[in-house]
Amino acid sequence: MYKILKAEKLADKIFLMDVEAPRIAKHCQPGQFIIAKIDERGERIPLTICDYDRDNGIITIVFQIVGASTYKMSQLQTGDSFADFVGPLGQSSEWIHEDLETLKNKKMLFVAGGVGTAPVYPQVKWLHEHGIDADVIVGSKTKDLLILEDKMREVAGNLYVTTDDGSYERKGMVTEVIKDLVQNQGNKYDVCIAIGPMIMMKFVCLLTKELEIPTIVSMNPIMVDGTGMCGACRLSVGGEIKFACVDGPEFDGHKVDFDQAMKRQQQYKTAEGRAMLAAQEGDTHHGGCGQCN
């Protein structure tokens, strides 16, 4: 059992939990995720790691209610436990393996949309701890749905907040802030890391391709079972079949076929749709079974 040390509501339908998981905290890196199960019969829920405390063996997760399982998870309180809490899973962010001196010479831009702020935070924090400042754009529909702002301000070189309705800081989409920073303020970026809703990442990538900024995206929004066995997170990257949970979750955003991924995500929601996908994709439907690719 994995004890919940803190349970906090961050915003409407968005929750944060600190979970006692020493082995995961010891080995995890930015970009990776865990799988949580509330009880033995519970659904497997993949969640990107928001933060980790190696000394105290704590993993922080942030999740949004999107269905019955996450609703049930939101009802858990401090002192309750998860039956299973597995990780770290997936590949860590590639840039953390780069030479630090080389990394210090790079100008990095992070773009976080909604709950995507949670997986962006540990990456920016890692850079800050290694003496590297990065620019961060955080977008939210409204001020009330903005999360982790104070924590992000502590680690970001520059933080730019924008809300769709203009209820806080700037008004508009994250893409408008990117344009302002690059085209009006003359900032030059070596890489952009964008994490958030699929549609947001798509339009960020369309813009950064035009601006010639290499861009990394996290495809964690399409993960379901977290091992590749379900076939939910199958996607096309540069014309090759990949699976977000075993090959990612981070990929070259300019190579991801977002339209196909979003269409497939909708189709996967029904039993009929899943059956059709399995029939159409054949041996490439699954990624974690060892029989694909």
* Assigned CATH for 1-87: 2.40.30.10
The per-residue pLDDT for range 256-267, each reduced to its tens digit, is 988 887 776 666
Per-residue pLDDT, 40 = 86
Query: How confident is the model over 202-232, as pLDDT tens digits?
Result: 999 999 999 999 999 998 877 766 666 666 7
Q: Quick one: pLDDT band at residue 289, thresholds 50, 70, 90? A: very low
Binding residues for FAD: 62-64
Question: From the annotation, which residues make up the binding site?
Answer: 62-64, 230, 233, 245
The more confident residue out of 231 and 122 is 122
Residues of the chain with CATH 3.40.50.80: 97-193
> 97-193 belongs to which CATH class?
alpha beta
Q: Which residues are annotated as a binding site for [2Fe-2S] cluster?
A: 230, 233, 245
Kindly report, as residue ranges, where domains of CATH 2.40.30.10 are found in the chain.
Answer: 1-87
Question: Which long-range contacts link 150-158 to residues 24+ away (Cβ below 8 Å)?
Answer: 151/121, 152/117, 152/120, 152/121, 152/124, 154/128, 155/121, 155/124, 155/125, 155/127, 155/128, 156/110, 156/124, 156/128, 157/133, 158/133
